[in-house]
């Protein structure tokens, strides 16, 4: 059987009257793909989106996913690059989707740099940067962060809710379920955390005992994960509230990571850029909901463990840098 493209993951679901059956936990990438598909469809989404960002009357031309460009000597990725056209002029709309993950270093500014590059290259006449995220995420973004437009996921869900048909109903419910899941992930209950922590410790003991371990706790910020050589100066931490796997680097390890070539997907958050005393190596992961059964979220757990192993590739390099 010919395999279906990944975007089918977004739309192939079993419809039930009055409910949204979710065969997976939505991630930022799924949010990307929902918007990508709807912009290309004739649902009216492209016209609504254009009006929402101040491009009334502009015609949708195309939308592409995960577009990388180099600007000022560094590469960056645009989640969705959309092109609209009016009166023979084209506008690039560069969308960054967030559910819980923190911004990477100068992320908003690097979007502006890539947009300016599109203009100077003659590909478009102008550009806009758009941040799409749940309301609770947007309220924490500084007012002076240089995004041209900010759109709450709740607005997109509400637009679908006003449409007729099972497809629109599922879209609305799926987005609302994602929003609720993000909220619970950001502020889980102590008993839920304790239950999840115990299940996570057991899971690691069964499947990753040689490399990873966790001592069950009630820490609502997320579990710490032991690994060979871990200590108080380098701590691996699954940060529930911002959906990150993070290696906290203190003391002699602080400042060492910026001298290293990091694996793909691993970002450095420098202490001086965030007003902290320690550096973090981070990988964005899907949000987890500790109030839900552990066994129903093993896809998220697997993503978190994969992120942990990505980060731990850097530890031998850090040790060599400290010893050298």
Domain of residue 223 covers 190-323
> From CA 99, how far away is CA 305, in angstroms rounded?
19
Say yes or no to pLDDT of 126 above 90.
yes
The per-residue pLDDT of the chain, averaged, comes to: 87
Say yes or no to pLDDT of 10 above 50.
no
Q: What is the tens place of the pLDDT at every residue in 188-236?
A: 677 888 889 999 999 999 999 999 999 987 777 789 999 999 999 999 9
Report which of 226, 202, 222, 214 is spatially closest to residue 290, judged by C-alpha positions: 222
CATH classification at residue 181:
3.40.1350
The answer to whether residue 51 sits within a structural domain is yes
Same domain, 207 and 157: no
| pTM for this prediction | 0.63
Same domain, 17 and 128: yes
The answer to whether residue 2 sits within a structural domain is no
In angstroms, the Cα distances linking 148 to 52, 144, 219, 249, 318 are 12, 10, 37, 34, 38
Say yes or no to pLDDT of 64 above 90.
yes
Other CB atoms within a 10 A radius of the CB of residue 115 amount to 24
How much is the average pLDDT of 48-65?
Answer: 96
- pLDDT band of residue 2 (cuts 50, 70, 90) is very low
How much is the average pLDDT of 71-77?
Answer: 70
Same domain, 174 and 314: no
Same domain, 165 and 204: no
How much is the average pLDDT of 159-170?
Answer: 92
> From CA 121, how far away is CA 59, in angstroms rounded?
22
Same domain, 26 and 109: yes
The answer to whether residue 204 sits within a structural domain is yes
Same domain, 182 and 194: no
Q: What is the tens place of the pLDDT at every residue in 279-316?
A: 999 999 888 888 888 998 999 999 999 999 999 999 99
In angstroms, the Cα distances linking 155 to 49, 150, 158, 162, 177 are 10, 11, 5, 11, 14
> From CA 202, how far away is CA 216, in angstroms rounded?
9
How much is the average pLDDT of 275-279?
Answer: 87
The answer to whether residue 239 sits within a structural domain is yes
Say yes or no to pLDDT of 113 above 90.
yes
What's the total number of domains in the chain?
Answer: 2
Lookup: tokens for 15? 């419809």
Same domain, 147 and 258: no
Same domain, 311 and 204: yes
Question: Among 171, 186, 201, which residue terminates a domain?
Answer: 186
> From CA 21, how far away is CA 243, in angstroms rounded?
23
First to last CA, the chain: 54
Instruction: Look up residue 295 and give its DSSP letter.
Output: G
């Amino acid at each position: 059987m010919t395999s279906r493209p990944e975007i089918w993951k977004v739309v192939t679901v079993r419809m039930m009257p009055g409910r949204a059956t979710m065969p997976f936990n939505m991630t930022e990438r799924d949010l990307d793909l929902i918007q990508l598909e709807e912009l290309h469809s004739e649902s009216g989404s492209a016209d609504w989106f254009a009006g929402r960002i101040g491009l009334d009357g502009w015609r949708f031309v195309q939308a592409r996913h995960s577009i990388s460009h180099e600007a000022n000597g560094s590469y960056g990725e645009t989640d969705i690059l959309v092109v609209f056209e009016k009166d023979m002029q084209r506008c690039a709309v560069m969308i960054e989707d967030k559910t819980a993950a923190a911004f990477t270093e100068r992320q908003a500014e690097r979007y502006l740099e890539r947009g300016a590059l599109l203009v100077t290259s003659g590909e478009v006449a102008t550009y806009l940067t758009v941040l799409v995220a749940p309301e609770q995420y947007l309220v924490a973004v500084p007012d002076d962060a240089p995004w041209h437009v900010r759109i709450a996921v709740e607005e997109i869900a509400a637009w679908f809710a006003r449409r007729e048909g099972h497809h629109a109903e599922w879209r609305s419910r799926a987005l609302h379920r994602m929003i609720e899941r993000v909220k619970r992930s950001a502020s889980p209950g102590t008993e839920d955390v304790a239950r999840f922590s115990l299940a996570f410790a057991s899971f690691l003991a069964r499947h990753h005992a040689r490399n990873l371990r966790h001592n069950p706790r009630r820490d609502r910020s997320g579990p710490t994960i032991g690994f060979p050589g871990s200590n108080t100066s380098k701590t691996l931490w699954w940060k529930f509230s911002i959906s990150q796997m993070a290696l906290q680097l203190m003391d002699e390890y602080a400042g060492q990571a910026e001298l290293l070539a990091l694996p793909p997907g691993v970002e450095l958050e420098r202490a001086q850029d965030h007003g902290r005393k320690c550096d973090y190596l981070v990988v964005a992961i899907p949000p987890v909901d500790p109030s839900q059964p552990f066994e129903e979220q093993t896809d998220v757990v697997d993503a978190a463990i994969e992120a942990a192993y990505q980060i731990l590739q850097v530890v031998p390099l850090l040790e060599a840098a400290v010893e050298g």
